[in-house]
Amino acid sequence: MFRGLAKRGYRAVMGPAVTEDPVRAWKGTTRPGLPVLRVMHVGDCSIRAMEHTHDFKAPVGYPKVMGERLLEQGVATEFAHYFAIMYEQLPDIERLKKVTKMSGAPDVVLVHTATTYQRRVILNSTPRINQLRVDTGRRFGRRIRLPYRLVLKPLVRAFGRHWNDYNGSELLDQFVERVQREWPDATVVLMPPFPFGWTYPTSWPIVDLLTEDYRAVADRRGLPFLQFTTLGDDNRLRCANGYNLNTRGSEIVGEELARWILAERAKPAAEPVKPAAEQRAA
């Protein structure tokens, strides 16, 4: 069964209509005549809203909610995402600019990564294994929670391991320094992994150390540190893995983030967007 799923790949499950990653496709909520805030996101799959299990093609989660709430208050957003699941994948500035392709310097840079260090699995992530996990999750749909709790969790607890060693926050600190040097007027926001609904006993010490290191970098550099403790450990806000937020969880984070941006940054920093005719004339 599983071998057949892996051979068929994403298209067999998703169908031919799904051709573009929703995260790459979403560019924000720009509207002519409204001030626009350029928001750059550097982070992992926490950006997606995952209803049942981990899905690499799940839709945009809290950043889209953030953009919609800002738009309701008269502030449009230009949004760009750079995918990095570990500190070792944080890019240099030229690479960051090339991938994000923003129209100008970012006003806000959200750094939200490193969840994978606490992750405990039996098989390491490879393209084939990741595809198998996603395809299996899609086949089960909302029914995935029961086999996840009764079968997968006990197996991973007994035979799993942490494949990515956590070696401290030095690479995070260096990345923040590069960003601040390149865009001194940008507000760099450090967001540690979301609170977990549940995880394995060997994961909790990593989670605690990672969060404290995130906070220490923020304190040392005088940066905002946003931790969304209002999520609590409510599994109704998360998919089966106990971490990735579903639509409701994403709404909570997106709304809180929008309120924070409006209070701290958006209105004084945003620039009006010229109508298309004026842009062509210029």
pLDDT for res 71: 95
Burial degree of 240 (CB within 10 A; 0-12, 13-18, 19+): buried
Neighbours of 199 (CB within 10 A): 16
Model confidence band, residue 109 (pLDDT cutoffs 50, 70, 90): very high
pLDDT mean over 191-210: 95
Q: What is the mean pLDDT of residues 96-110?
A: 96
Confidence of residue 128 (pLDDT cuts 50, 70, 90): confident
Are the C-beta atoms of 11 and 131 separated by less than 8 Å? Answer: no
Q: What is the mean pLDDT of residues 35-63?
A: 93
* DSSP per residue, 48-103: B--SSS--TTPPB-HHHHHHHHHHHTT-EEEEEEEE-SSGGGPPPHHHHHHHH--S
- 3-class SS at 228? coil
Q: What is the pLDDT of residue 223?
A: 96
Choose between 156 and 127: higher pLDDT: 156
Enumerate the domain spans of the chain: 2-269
Q: With contact defined as beta carbons under 8 Å apart, do 219 and 225 qualify? A: yes
What is the architecture, at CATH level 2, of domain 2-269? 3-Layer(aba) Sandwich (3.40)
Polymer length of the chain: 282
Distance CA 69, CA 258 (A): 6
Residue 38 to residue 48: CA distance in whole angstroms: 19
